[in-house]
Chain A
Amino acid sequence: DVVLTQTPPTSSATIGQSVSISCRSSQSLLDSDGNTYLYWYLQRPSQSPQLLIYLVSKLGSGVPNRFSGSGSGTDFTLKISGVEAEDLGVYYCVQGTHDPPAFGGGTKLELK
């Protein structure tokens, strides 16, 4: 099975600071159809996860454009350009290229 490794496990930021989270896959996530099925989610405290980014870099509906995703193959990055208080929580990357889908271990974003 595919293993997704996220770093760092915890990130401390001040409001307005930019942060990046890495997600590395044990196998390439490029599908034979040409798509790369890599997603990013945010789980706020006591809430269900919500989709931020799909297909590596496409913003989910209603997601602010301070979020951006990049990467290819096995290495991916989520960047938040100017953290706001509502961005605090745990971020997960998810792959859907290989069966079964798999989650990264999560990155907790907290206030410094």
Chain B
Amino acid sequence: QVQLQQSGAELAKPGSSVKISCKASGYTFTSYYISWIKQTTGQGLEYIGYINTGSGGTNYNEKFKGKATLTVDKSSSTAFMQLSSLTPDDSAVYYCARGRVPLYWGQGVMVTVSS
């Protein structure tokens, strides 16, 4: 079955970067885009962007340009999202999902930014 296994929780300091991973299984990795979504505590969902897992091409929500960088490693069927210049506003749960419109979701990764 389709599974997206994300890396573990992150605690980071303001100004630093984190890179979270999303390992896909149960389907042909390069046949579907991977999208990334942000959910802040008690808040709704924000779409960060998506990556074409075959070509590496990306499309970002304007709000997250310069904040998020999406990459893939086809050899390991893994997608990555790097978040840079972290501030407390970046504290959230981050999900990866299969598809430009997210149909299958990972379990989410909590990122906490605190000094």
Contacts and interface: CB of A to CB of B under 8 A. Distances in A.
Contact of A96 (B61, B100, B105): B100
A50 to B, nearest CB: 7
A105 interface: yes
A94 B99 CA distance: 13
Interface in A35-73: 37, 39, 48-51, 54
A100 B51 CA distance: 12
**Interface size class for chain A?**
20 to 34
A92 interface: yes
Contacts of A37: 101
B44 interface: yes
A92 B44 contact: yes
Contact of A49 (B47, B62, B105): B105
B47 A103 contact: yes
A54 B103 CA distance: 9
B44 A105 contact: yes
Interface string A9-37: 00000000000000000000000000001
B35 to A, nearest CB: 7
B106 A100 contact: no
B101 A48 contact: no
Given A1-B62, A48-B105, A101-B35, 5 more contacts: A48-B106, A50-B105, A94-B101, A101-B101, A106-B45
Q: Which 3 A-B pairs have the closest CB atoms?
A: A96-B101, A48-B105, A103-B45
